[in-house]
Structure 1
Amino acid sequence: MSAYTDRPWLARYRAGTPTDITAENASALQIFMSAAAHAPDAPAIKYFDGVLTYGELDAAADALAGALRADGFTAGDRLAVYVQNNPAFVIGLLAAWKAGGSAVAVNPMNRQRELAYLLEDSGATALLTLNTLYDEVAAEVIAGGTTAVRTVISVSALDGQSRDDDRVLGDQSADVPVGTRALSAIIAEHDGTPVTPTAPSADDLAVLTYTSGTTGKPKGALNTHGNLAFNAQTYRDWIGLTGEDVVLGVAPLFHITGLVGHVMLAPLLRIPLVLTHRFAPAVMVDAVREHRPTFTVGAITAYIALADSGGARPGDFDSLRALYSGGAPIAPAVADRLESVFGAYIHNIYGLTETNSPSHAVPFGVRAPVDGESGALSVGVPVFNTVVRVVDDDGEDLPVGAIGEFATSGPQVVPGYWNRPDATAESIPGGELRTGDVGFMDSDGWFYLVDRKKDMINASGYKVWPREVEDVLYGHPAVAEAAVVGVPDEYRGETVKAFVSLQPGKAATGEEIVEFCKSQMAAYKYPRSVEILDELPKTATGKVLRRTLRDQAAARA
């Protein structure tokens, strides 16, 4: 892209691969093993008042890997990991790799139907689960006999800290469910028994991460060891993180952002990862106050929740020098408000499960531009060794400024989907990912995300992109969160409906918000109705569920 040649600060970020990919860090497992070998006494995980060093983490993973092998877990098998943001997630991940297999990252919000589907589809032979989740969800699934699971290991949310702690928020059961083996007992039994793993190649499967299933059943993305290792280094080198930093685990670890931007990044730098079991604003503020993290990446809704929690005191956020947000677009008005709270600019980062987190990012220390016509804040520029085209429905390149689908290729793009050759051929033809996200590139090489293809609203023949309307809604002084969907309309075919939640202590009516939007956008774009909710429905990663709102509105209509 010639647009970069006259801008040295951008050209520096297009210079190529992160600088020191070697045999030691070319795979996800090698990154952890290198950390354990060279920094065994360095803190790996800080979990409330507990600390796990890299040496202890390595020994715990050895113990679990040995137990898995003893139960018949062989090369190529899969361990499903069904926990919250606990040390057990990292132990399970490492153990699966050391035992010669891979992991299946399972959303802890999944219930019986969803868990059964993931276990059946992945063919997982072992399950690591919170004991509370086993009792409430997994026991029924395993008893159903439809999965290949032979071994179930349970873990308490209290494991990894030195005392009971109310901050674990109600998941404080230490009971070992019948039919499971406690992870703590396995670690004690196999302590000091090293496991010699078969070193995986960069192309070997590391984790199956399942897509959200918005257009059908969830698909398992084949996240390889090389994919994870490359983008962990992208985070490090793009932002300029060092061995003096501390990572705050805001994003769920089962999600690709948490998996790469937290779990993989920390051992690459041999620095601590701060975990808090689940995201709760007051608990997260307390963790920031106690552990003084310097970097995090998470959904913008998480930052909004922290800003509006009311529990922070002056100076609490001073340690956070590098903040990034991915998973959902940031409205410029929200970015400005949050900067006033955190004292640091929140940089956009953009990617998908299939790109192992970032394919685009705003360079650290640079403020993203705002498109003058749409009002959208740029999601950044393509990261190292990454090529992104803006294409039409036929896959042909579109000119600068034209809106089309992002098509991404690079070392972070997955090779395909688990047992889905047709879906792989359709979505990743020739190794280039058709993202389903619609946007454009400006003449300076900045990319702007307009919306998901499927979320476009057709109102009387006019295209309305929900993202643009949401950005306007965020400019209202009382609005905390906003989501816009198309709903059936007898006259227009579809019409624009908005759902909002309000900032604490602020008041507004739906009619007032409609008038606010009406004054700032074309007649076919502004919402015809605004519904005020206490909270918008979200995924576990903090992304607002437009689909749920759309379905609810359509059912009422």
Structure 2
Amino acid sequence: MSTYTDRPWLALYPEGGPTDIAPEQATVLDVFRASLAAAPDAVAIRYFDGVLTLADLDTASDALAVGLADAGFAPGDRIGLYVQNDPAFVIGLLGAWKAGGVAVAVNPMNRARELTHLLTDSGATALLCLEELYESVARDVLPGTRVRTVVTCSALDRQSRDDERVLGGVVRSRPEGTLDLEELVTTTAGRRPAAASLAADDVAVLTYTSGTTGVPKGAMNTHANVVFNAQVYRDWVGLTPDDVVLGVAPLFHITGLVGHVAVALLTPCPLVLAHRFHPEVVLDAIREHRPTFTVGAVTVFIALAGVPGVGREDFASLRTVYSGGAPIAPAVTDSFEAVTGRYIHNVYGLTETNSPSHAVPLGRRAPVDPASGALSVGVPVYNTVVRVVGEDGGELPVGEVGELVTSGPQVVPGYWGRPEATAESLPGGELRTGDVGFMDAEGWFYLVDRKKDMINAAGYKVWPREVEDVLYGHPAVREAAVVGVPDAYRGETVKAFVSLKPGASVTPEEVIAFARERMAAYKYPRTVEVVAELPKTTTGKILRRELRDPAPG
């Protein structure tokens, strides 16, 4: 029998750990105020050529909190944040908490149907929104919701460079009937919001799951959850005020929220933002601002390494690179390191674990499982216990594949307004992740796949992840996704979708032959489709479900 609770991975931990702030006693606002008191003039955000200090964030978030209160926003109310990776997102978080409220993180790619669901499900009474998103989406949605206060902002705020590649076509429109975030700073000058009573176990942010198995649910990320994992990032990576965080993950996503915003406010250190991910724009930001740490989806790093003319000098400042959101094929880490000179450390977690539950220790290289070829996602982070269980809920021996079940200070207490879903996924406060994996004898964890993505080919289990890892080893393949499709003889069979590296060419038959040489007969893809791009979420995670169940023509 395995000894997961003995935690054999303790020897892999970096020294130290989250000790200076007790997360059960602190809110994220407490963290910000501590950093503000210590260094008010420290740079908090670099946004193109714009710079905001901690004092600037304090002034702007005070203005938002005052404006919300004047409009009737009360403690406990929810405010949607419908913006890109702009300073307004950080101002919105702090303003919501200063007003005693809860932020609702909204994907800026959401259209009317999705926005309606999030605002209705959360019961939001206010919305901070980019002007163009208000004009194109929110204006028509809001009459059917509880939202009564709209604060608009522009991607052009707080900078003057107006990079055409991501800001081209953006014009200030100042929609009628809304409050303007920048105007509030002027009109409320000298006013401070009333003191809000926040507790560490209060909900800080509602972050909605991707809805891969149904309607998106609002994970209740508490202040204690966020504070704990902000410290995990800081201490695991060894961040100090001399570091600079590169914000490549969307801030509405849990990785951006904790691994960018919260850790930068805690350390404190500058956070580099560039509105949205555009490889050439982000590469320019790296060259200009010389960040030292980032965490993002592997597709981000594939894209950055593929920018024409990129070289090792461009990434020389990046002391530490982590990737989460989706498993990484060993071939991808090897090719990225060959181009940039930087090794990608794995980090693994979910919305419900406030980003990391596992990470590769700093300075260590993740081992590769010799049987499956999978790259380890790391070891459990501080104060976190992970078990591997079978279908009956019993703990499995070392090396056996089962569902990962996680408990620790970063695990959310439940889903907003969904007690049944909470009881199903979080029995006794322990998260049933829905991810399948195993632990080796040294304590390293390996992610096999999502339970629902397993392919049953004539009775044989095929995990798409293993096939994808093999395909990434083909010199022409840039990205790969594998799904099960109906087959009259086998029940299901394996189909692969691949996109190619710039200038590369390959036939489906050549890809199939490559895989057949390297895999058991029941695993290799019987069909391959070459596509220009694979469908992804805004966080860069490849959407197998859209390939498996394409929308009707």
Q: Distance in 2 between matches of 1:338 and 1:34?
A: 38
- Equivalent residue for 2:185? 187
Calculate the aligned-residue CA RMSD, in Å: 1.8
- Equivalent residue for 1:308? 306
- Equivalent residue for 2:341? 343
Instruction: Tell me by how many angstroms 1:5 deviates.
Output: 8.4
Matches within 5 A, 1:412-423: 412-423=410-421
Structure 1 pair 337–240 and aligned structure 2 pair: CA distance change class (3 A): same
Instruction: Tell me by how many angstroms 1:243 deviates.
Output: 1.4
Aligned 8 A contact 1:440 1:449 in 2? yes
Instruction: Tell me by how many angstroms 1:490 deviates.
Output: 0.8
3-state SS in 1 of match to 2:315: coil
Q: Distance in 1 between matches of 2:372 and 2:391?
A: 22
Of all paired residues, the percent bearing the same amino acid is 68
- Equivalent residue for 2:97? 97
Q: Structure 1 residues 18-27 or 515-524, which shifts more?
A: 18-27
**Structure-2-length-normalised TM-score:** 0.97
Instruction: Tell me by how many angstroms 1:258 deviates.
Output: 0.2
1:263 matches 2:261: yes
1:112 matches 2:112: yes
- Equivalent residue for 1:83? 83
Q: Distance in 1 between matches of 2:359 and 2:184?
A: 41
Q: Distance in 2 between matches of 1:14 and 1:397?
A: 27
- Equivalent residue for 1:318? 316
3-state SS in 1 of match to 2:314: coil
Residue of 401, 406, 421 corresponding to 1:408 = 406
* Letter in structure 1 aligned against 2:54: Y
**Structure-1-length-normalised TM-score:** 0.96
- Equivalent residue for 2:69? 69
Q: Distance in 2 between matches of 1:12 and 1:317?
A: 27
Q: Distance in 1 between matches of 2:16 and 2:387?
A: 18
Aligned 8 A contact 1:4 1:445 in 2? no
Instruction: Output one character per residue of 1:96-130: Cα deviation in whole Å (capped at 9) or x when no partner.
Output: 00000110000000000000010000000000010
Instruction: Output one character per residue of 1:324-345: Cα deviation in whole Å (capped at 9) or x when no partner.
Output: 0000000001110001122111
* Letter in structure 1 aligned against 2:157: D
Instruction: Output one character per residue of 1:258-284: Cα deviation in whole Å (capped at 9) or x when no partner.
Output: 000000010111110000000000000
* Letter in structure 1 aligned against 2:26: A
Instruction: Tell me by how many angstroms 1:313 deviates.
Output: 4.7
- Equivalent residue for 1:503? 501
Structure 1 pair 4–211 and aligned structure 2 pair: CA distance change class (3 A): closer
Residue of 208, 212, 215 corresponding to 2:213 = 215
Q: Structure 1 residues 164-173 or 200-209, which shifts more?
A: 164-173
Residue of 540, 547, 550 corresponding to 1:549 = 547
Residue of 467, 475, 478 corresponding to 2:476 = 478
- Equivalent residue for 2:33? 33
- Equivalent residue for 1:248? 246
Q: Distance in 2 between matches of 1:406 and 1:496?
A: 25
Gaps of 5+ in 2: none
Instruction: Tell me by how many angstroms 1:6 deviates.
Output: 11
Structure 1 pair 171–350 and aligned structure 2 pair: CA distance change class (3 A): farther
User: Number of paired residues?
Assistant: 552
Q: Distance in 2 between matches of 1:199 and 1:246?
A: 32
Structure 1 pair 507–233 and aligned structure 2 pair: CA distance change class (3 A): same
Q: Structure 1 residues 190-199 or 385-394, which shifts more?
A: 190-199
Q: Distance in 2 between matches of 1:178 and 1:330?
A: 47
Q: Distance in 2 between matches of 1:196 and 1:177?
A: 28
Q: Structure 1 residues 190-199 or 290-299, which shifts more?
A: 190-199
3-state SS in 2 of match to 1:104: strand
Q: Distance in 1 between matches of 2:477 and 2:83?
A: 33
Instruction: Output one character per residue of 1:142-163: Cα deviation in whole Å (capped at 9) or x when no partner.
Output: 1xx2210000111110001034
Structure 1 pair 400–150 and aligned structure 2 pair: CA distance change class (3 A): same
- Equivalent residue for 2:121? 121
- Equivalent residue for 2:60? 60
3-state SS in 2 of match to 1:162: coil
Q: Distance in 1 between matches of 2:37 and 2:16?
A: 29
Gaps of 5+ in 1: none
3-state SS in 2 of match to 1:486: strand
Structure 1 pair 347–163 and aligned structure 2 pair: CA distance change class (3 A): closer
* Letter in structure 2 aligned against 1:63: A
Matches within 5 A, 1:132-211: 132-142=132-142, 145-170=143-168, 172-211=170-209
Residue of 328, 332, 353 corresponding to 1:330 = 328
